Structure 1
Amino acid sequence: MMSSVKVECVVKESALIGEGPVWEESEQTLLFVDIGGQKIHRWSPSTNQIQSLETGESVGFVVPRRSGGYVAGVGRSIVAVDWSTQMMTPLLEVDEDKKNNRLNDGKVDPIGRLLAGTMGKETRPAEVQRQQGSLFSVNSDLSVTKHLNQVDISNGLDWSLDQKTFFYIDSLSLTVDAFDYDLLSGHIGNRRVVYRMEEGEGLPDGMTCDADGRLWVACYNAGRVIRIDPVTGVRLQTVSLPVTKTTSCCFGGPDYSDLYVTSASLGLNQSEQQLAGGTFRVTGLGVKGRPSTSFTG
């Protein structure tokens, strides 16, 4: 029997490009960024309050840091964020030879290493300089390893339940890919396609893995999140949202059974889609997610 899936807009404040939702267990809050609006947001479901920090440059992701506070990708810098003082401290810079690049999606692996990617800045709306981006990891000593270059739009990332597979999206390839992952060394290899986007599914964007090992992929320009089985390459479920530019998703809530979905309003006029740029909560999926890991650096 299908559970009754419910979609509600919980953060109505419109983001230009809402992205990178992360559930923060300790605070029971949802962290997410507005790339174009240059803000980090923290929203509490229990109080419905939103707190924001202006970053002064585009911000691709934010993740909790084990030593306290957060780490965010701002411009081409990885910065430490002290929420209480609203201070940002640069830790390191990437893609030094590509001044037009910016950080996009990032996530922490199961042992606390940060993986993040870059992309060429849009020269015109929706026109990205192709093959300018890279994917790299930041270790706990803040050393950087580059894994891939010639990436178009480095996007969604997550790991399999057994931690031996790394899932990754380069949006313009229109595929979800997998790599063998060596958790100890952080080495990736043996790239293969696990899912090809079908007609009408738009661009694959942010992604999260659920407690059953299935992937939930936000479909940009297609107003939906799809659940796929990375083993069989089959789409299992589609959740439609009332906005077209769905950007990313994560599970959260007290028992990780709520799916949070971010969206963008960039290039849309508000009369077309009143909720564009909002953040949505999907309940009744009958599926749970997994807690995120904090960055050890």
Structure 2
Amino acid sequence: MSSVKVESVVQHNCKLGESPVWEEKESSLLFVDITDKKVYRWNSLTKELHSVSVGAPVSCVCLRKSGDYMITLGTQFAALNWKNKSVTTIKHVDLDKSNNRFNDGKVDPAGRLFAGTMGEEIRPAVLERQQGSLYTLLPDHSVVKHFDKVDISNGLDWSLDHRTFYYIDSLSYSVDAFDYDLQTGKLSNRRSVYKMEKEESIPDGMCIDSDGKLWVACYNGGRVIRIDPETGKRLQTVKLPVAETTSCSFGGDDYSELYVTSASQGLDEASLSGQPKAGNVFKVIGWFSAHTKGSSALEATHMWERAVVW
């Protein structure tokens, strides 16, 4: 792999930064701090960072075709009006599990919002097991529950042909795949396509590149890895100056920049002094810029600039 450059672009120490999403029309990166209960928007042109406090753990943010954003807030699917700083509940889930919250989520190529839940953590990655489920919020505001007994519902994305759904339940230490029916949103035929190695630690957030390879942030591993879901092989590793790398997403004018969120919570004073950028958002450039020349930018934009349909 040719050389890459890792740069801290949002020098703000999030407690639990997650869910990076590029907003093309604003040249901005959206992300959340779950523990601090805030949604952030960082403008890549002005370098300004703005936030909205939402009053509960907020675990993912995504775009709406009608404007503004959808978020997962506690155990709610909700709409966020950025200008008014207001939140409107769409649907509650896991009503029988008061200690649960949503975690990662993403919009499918047809505009459905997928998101999963988990139990409350005692400390990072330590929690009551199998309390979570994976859900889809549909355009009519109904909710489909795909399966339960999930530990930490995490990274998710779809193959370029939309026929495969990739998913991470973190404590399985596996990246899984399902057959995906884009017309119905149904999942079937679950199987593992990659098993984490010891130094990679816990699989967290995930995204896909224009070659159909997966990028996985490794919590407590201080890196993101590029894997081939067809062969089950790791292709590249990018190390970061922080241990708790949490998620990743492509952005920038030509989607050749990889943005990586991180966390600082759970680190003691010695660890924090050794990694003062813990909780920052990083930009990885170099290899992607060279690689994406000549590739289908339109295809990349179609995959990464998804929005819910209502």
TM-score (norm 2): 0.94
Task: Give the superposition deviation at 1:124.
Answer: 4.1
Name the structure where helix makes up a greater proportion of residues. 2
Contact 1:39 1:59 in 2 (8 A): yes
Counterpart amino acid of residue 185 in structure 1: T
- Indicate the SS of the match to 1:251: strand
State yes or no: 1:22 paired with 2:35: no
Correspondence for 1:277: 279
Correspondence for 1:40: 39
- Indicate the SS of the match to 1:200: helix
Task: Give the superposition deviation at 1:292.
Answer: 2.4
* Alpha-carbon distance in structure 2 between the residues aligned to 1:30 and 1:208: 15
Contact 1:106 1:117 in 2 (8 A): yes
State yes or no: 1:55 paired with 2:54: yes
Task: Give the superposition deviation at 1:125.
Answer: 4.5
Count how many residue pairs are aligned between Structure 1 and Structure 2: 296
Contact 1:16 1:277 in 2 (8 A): yes
Task: Give the superposition deviation at 1:28.
Answer: 1.2
Counterpart amino acid of residue 308 in structure 2: F
Q: Map Cα deviations across residues 34-53 of structure 1 (whole Å, 9 max, x no partner).
A: 01111100001111000101
Q: Map Cα deviations across residues 137-187 of structure 1 (whole Å, 9 max, x no partner).
A: 011111100001000000000000000000000000000000000001000
Contact 2:123 2:266 in 1 (8 A): no
State yes or no: 1:163 paired with 2:162: yes
Counterpart amino acid of residue 175 in structure 1: S
Counterpart amino acid of residue 4 in structure 1: S
State yes or no: 1:103 paired with 2:116: no
Q: Map Cα deviations across residues 260-295 of structure 1 (whole Å, 9 max, x no partner).
A: 000000012331210000000000123455432101
Q: Map Cα deviations across residues 45-92 of structure 1 (whole Å, 9 max, x no partner).
A: 111000101111101100011111100001011111111111111111
Task: Give the superposition deviation at 1:32.
Answer: 0.3
Correspondence for 2:307: 294
Counterpart amino acid of residue 162 in structure 2: Q
Structure 1 segments unaligned to the other structure (5+ residues): none
Correspondence for 2:295: none
1:240-279 equivalent positions in 2, closer than 5 A: 240-268=239-267, 269=269, 270-279=272-281
Contact 1:175 1:197 in 2 (8 A): yes
Contact 1:174 1:196 in 2 (8 A): yes
Contact 2:75 2:102 in 1 (8 A): yes
Contact 1:7 1:281 in 2 (8 A): yes
* Alpha-carbon distance in structure 2 between the residues aligned to 1:136 and 1:125: 23
Counterpart amino acid of residue 80 in structure 1: A
C-alpha change, 1:259 and 1:98, in structure 2 (3 Å) is same
Structure 2 segments unaligned to the other structure (5+ residues): 293-299
* Alpha-carbon distance in structure 1 between the residues aligned to 2:261 and 2:120: 21
1:183-194 equivalent positions in 2, closer than 5 A: 183-194=182-193
* Alpha-carbon distance in structure 1 between the residues aligned to 2:24 and 2:107: 15
* Alpha-carbon distance in structure 2 between the residues aligned to 1:44 and 1:31: 9
